[in-house]
Amino acid sequence: MPEKRDRFMQRARDAYGSATEKIVEVKDKTKETIQEHPFTSVIVAAAIGAIAGVAAAETIRMIRRRNRR
């Protein structure tokens, strides 16, 4: 039984390491892209924020309507 646990723990460590490496790669690529295209980055961020705001407002409106009934 300890062998199974050890194999599981090693796989978990490997997965964590792989995920950490991928996150660092994505972070670095994102930083590079923002530095190369700052105006586009601001426009994209604003668009994502607007979409999230509309989605949140619609969700709140639906919840309020449901609670009135």
- Per-residue confidence of the chain (69 residues) as pLDDT tens digits? 788 898 999 999 999 999 999 999 999 999 999 999 999 999 999 999 999 999 999 999 999 999 987
Q: Are residues 28 and 53 in the same domain?
A: no
E strands, 1-69, are none
Q: What residue spans of the chain are helical by DSSP H?
A: 2-36, 38-68
User: Against a cut of 0.75, is the pTM above it?
Assistant: no
How many domains is the chain partitioned into structurally?
Answer: 2
38-68 and 2-36 helices, crossing angle to 10°: 120
Q: Are residues 5 and 19 in the same domain?
A: yes
Q: What is the structure's pLDDT at 2?
A: 81
Q: Are residues 25 and 44 in the same domain?
A: no
For residue 20, the enclosing domain spans 1-36
Q: Are residues 22 and 45 in the same domain?
A: no
Q: Are residues 44 and 21 in the same domain?
A: no
